[in-house]
Amino acid sequence: MAMQTGCCSAAAVLLFLVVAAAGASVAGATYVRYKDPKQPIQARVEDLLSRMRIEEKIGQMTQIERHNASSAVIEKYFVGSVLSGGGSVPSEKASAATWQEMITKMQKAALSTRLGIPIIYGIDAVHGNNNAYNATIFPHNVGLGATRDPDLVKRIGRATALEARATGIPYTFAPCVAVCRDPRWGGCYESFSEDTKLVQLMTSAIIPGLQGDVSTKHPRGVPFVGGPKHVAACAKHFVGDGGTHHGISGNNTVLSFHDLMRIHMPPYYDAVIKGVASVMISYSSWNGVKMHENKYLITQILKEKMHFRGFVITDWQAVDKITTPPHKHYYHSIQETIHAGIDMVMIPFDYPEFVADVQAQVMRGAIKMDRINDAVSRILRVKFTMGLFENPFPEHSLTAQLGTKEHRELAREAVRKSLVLLKNGKGRKDGKPVLPLSKKAKKILVVGTHAHDLGLQCGGWTKSWQGQSGNGITGQGTTILEAIKSAVDKKTVIDYTEHPDKGSVSKNEDEYDYAVVVVGENPYAATAGDNLNLTIPGPGPEVIRKVCELVKCVVVLVSGRPLVVEPYLDTMDALVAAWLPGTEGHGVADVLFGDHGFSGKLPRTWVRSVDQLPMNYGDKLYDPLFPFGFGLTTKPADRS
């Protein structure tokens, strides 16, 4: 076993023993090794484990939803972890202080139990702390892939950690390190890229942002979290989530071992080297075997070969889904999962049955105590490493970190670097570039469903699992329309409407200098986003046709993935892929109006039609509309 923290010179140890002994004689208490932060972490883990009863061990392996996490339940079941499912919040528009109060109450219950082991509270902070009202919402990972800027991505990890800690949360189920090989997958926007190397680059950046930097001497696989302003991270979904058949969520990834290791495994090596605290298993199967029961990949490869010493967690209710007839049996599923090497189970609601089943199986010898001890040691190792025993409670002073001006500036920077310019005037009559746009136009048209809707701009995993339309949902934020309004000259008249047939559009289109058309996908996550046609949803195509035939137009496409645009490309004067930019719409205006140049590069291949899928960079037959890495650039406008 490798390095541990601390300590100490012989004199310091001696002094400590004297002080401890004095304390003991005064208080009449015995020295408790696991409570001593000066002890090596492994010694603390072993000491605590040796004191634990079976029900306390099973409790550590149990993660329940916050709805169920009353003080009574936490105390009775010795619950080790609580989570917020997507959109599960203490109250509508809860403030950071309200979140902290909720977690403080849970933590008090956990600390009141016999051994006083703190809970670890987890949430999907996947593009900022996206469940929290007024949080800064960053672009989804596909947009971050387009920036090619690992330093930026690291700073986003740091900001996300602070915004999670603002709400008292020390653990995020992020980053998603999927290598999405088929954009028909609803989870594709959670992937930085189809290219393994680019996913590795961003994985190596965001994990130190979230958790803090490991030193060069840090032993591989040992979890690391650098204190109360960082959070424990979770690399997901292990492994092959982005490689399923036709991009169907949670389906079968059919690949040789060699190709699995070559395409989908490398980001996990990087995550482990950076000291990632946990790894979440994928719903998907590999060559017909559910990942949640794949002992070979979880135990032999991840834990033994890769030396991962943090904990392995299931996906939401995954144990309920692993068995197929004739073994459709929860009891059997639990056994398979734990046997495969899973340490913590995201149940999230049926904890009494889970706890009873595990206990019965341990008593019968169907689940070995060694396996339980391994699981609990890993969870405790993370809790000790991150200082939860010393600092179990939310830090009040951090509430001010939610949605700060600095974080919004950072998100704005990310937005402008993530936008990919796909067409700029080529094929127009005069052949001239259209972007950057003039701020001094007399009259312009802004049109489309996505021009003035923060919910659509943020996509899935925003305030709720699936995301939703609407300007109120995130609290603060700036729509693309608002950003355009604040960018252009005060005298410029802006007509805005969702659809050119309705609302305030002049009948005389000659009046407009240009139009900005903002259309795209509606929010989705996972299975609900699986899509076999990848067309621009209605009325997008109609809006593009109507407006672009009459006015010089720039189309801004808000989507989690490349959509089929070839049929409309000729009518457009310019086309910008904006991905799912989040709350800071100013970043879009920054590049449209030339305050900054376009620099984003496609993190994915942009196909002509879905018949070409799957098509990825490096394929022998490669005839996309725009290749991986494509992106026109512009220079900042000269305003002198």
Ligand X SMILES: *[C@@H]1O[C@H](CO)[C@@H](O)[C@H](O)[C@H]1NC(C)=O
Query: What x/- string results for residues 386 through 415 when contact with ligand X is judged by CB under 6 A?
Result: ------------------------------
Among 34, 121, 133, 593, binds ligand X (CB under 6 A): 133
* Minimum separation from the CB atom of position 95 to ligand X (A): 4
* Beta carbon of residue 349, minimum distance to ligand X (angstroms, whole number): 4
Shortest distance (Å) from residue 435 CB to ligand X: 29
Number of Cβ within 10 Å of residue 393's Cβ equals 15
Element (H, E) at 418: helix 405-418
Q: Which of 286, 300, 344 is nearest to 319 (CA)?
A: 344
Cβ-based neighbours of 43, under 8 Å, separated by 6 or more: 4, 33
Query: Interacting stretch for ligand X, rule CB under 6 A, among 82-90, 294-302, 441-449, 529-537?
Result: 529-537
What is the rounded distance in angstroms from the CA atom of residue 261 to the CA atom of residue 279? 16
The CA distances from residue 584 to 88, 400, 489, in Å, are 24, 19, 20
- Within 13 Å of residue 631, how many CA atoms lie on the same side as its CB? 24
- Is 253 a binding residue for ligand X by CB under 6 A? The answer is no
Q: For 579, what's the count of Cα atoms within 13 Å in the CB-facing half-sphere?
A: 36
CB of 232 to ligand X, least distance (A): 24
Pick the closer one to ligand X by CB: 62 or 193: 62
CB of 181 to ligand X, least distance (A): 16
CB 271 within 8 A of CB 309: no
Of the candidate spans 248-256, 260-268, 359-367, 452-460, the one that interacts with ligand X by CB under 6 A turns out to be 248-256
Q: Which residues of 165-175 are buried (b: 16+ CB within 10 A; e: fewer)?
A: bbbbbbbbbbb
Q: 284 to 303, contacts with ligand X by CB under 6 A?
A: 285
Give the x/- contact pattern for ligand X in 21-60, rule: CB under 6 A. Answer: ----------------------------------------
Q: Which residues of 82-110 are buried (b: 16+ CB within 10 A; e: fewer)?
A: bbbbbbbbbeeebbbebbbebbeebbebb
Q: From CA 172, how far away is CA 71, in angstroms rounded?
A: 22
Structure tokens at 436: 């950057």
Q: Which of 169, 151, 147, 148 is nearest to 160 (CA)?
A: 169
Which among 168-176, 228-236, 530-538, 541-549 is the span making contact with ligand X, rule CB under 6 A? 530-538
Is the Cβ of residue 272 or residue 536 nearer to ligand X in the bound state? 536
Q: Which stretch binds ligand X (CB under 6 A): 214-222, 433-441, 528-536, 606-614?
A: 528-536
Q: Which of 15, 23, 29, 67 binds ligand X (CB under 6 A)?
A: 67
Query: Which of 23, 352, 472, 503 forms a contact with ligand X (CB under 6 A)?
Result: 352
Closest distance between ligand X and the C-beta of residue 398, in Å?
A: 14
Number of residues that bind ligand X (CB under 6 A): 19
Q: Of 247 and 392, which CB lies nearer to ligand X in the complex structure?
A: 247
Of 37-45, 156-164, 205-213, 526-534, the segment contacting ligand X by CB under 6 A is 526-534
Q: How many CB atoms lie within 10 A of CB 19?
A: 10
Residues 76-105, one symbol each (x = binds ligand X by CB under 6 A, - = not), give: -----------------x-x----------
Q: Least CB distance from residue 472 to ligand X, whole Å?
A: 11
In whole angstroms, give the CA distance from residue 500 to residue 163.
39
438 binds ligand X (CB under 6 A): no
Peptide bond connecting 348 to the previous residue in cis, omega within 30 degrees of 0: yes
- 134 part of the interface to ligand X, by CB under 6 A: yes
Residues 464-493 that bind ligand X (CB under 6 A): 475-476
Q: How far apart are CA 557 and CA 488, in angstroms?
A: 21
Question: How far from 143 is each of 61, 376, 580, 603, CA to CA, in Å?
Answer: 35, 37, 7, 8
**By CB under 6 A, which span of 140-148, 183-191, 202-210, 243-251 interacts with ligand X?**
243-251
Measured from the CB of residue 178, what is the shortest distance to ligand X in angstroms? Answer: 16
Q: Return contacts of 99-103, CB within 8 angstroms, 24+ apart.
A: 99/132, 99/167, 99/168, 99/169, 99/394, 100/167, 100/168, 100/394, 100/396, 100/399, 102/66, 102/168, 103/167, 103/168, 103/169, 103/393, 103/394
CB of 387 to ligand X, least distance (A): 27
Choice from 287, 300, 533, 633 touching ligand X (CB under 6 A): 533
Stretch that binds ligand X, among 156-164, 193-201, 247-255, 578-586 (CB under 6 A): 247-255
Residues that bind ligand X (CB under 6 A): 67-68, 93, 95, 133-134, 248, 250-252, 285, 349, 352, 475-476, 531-533, 535
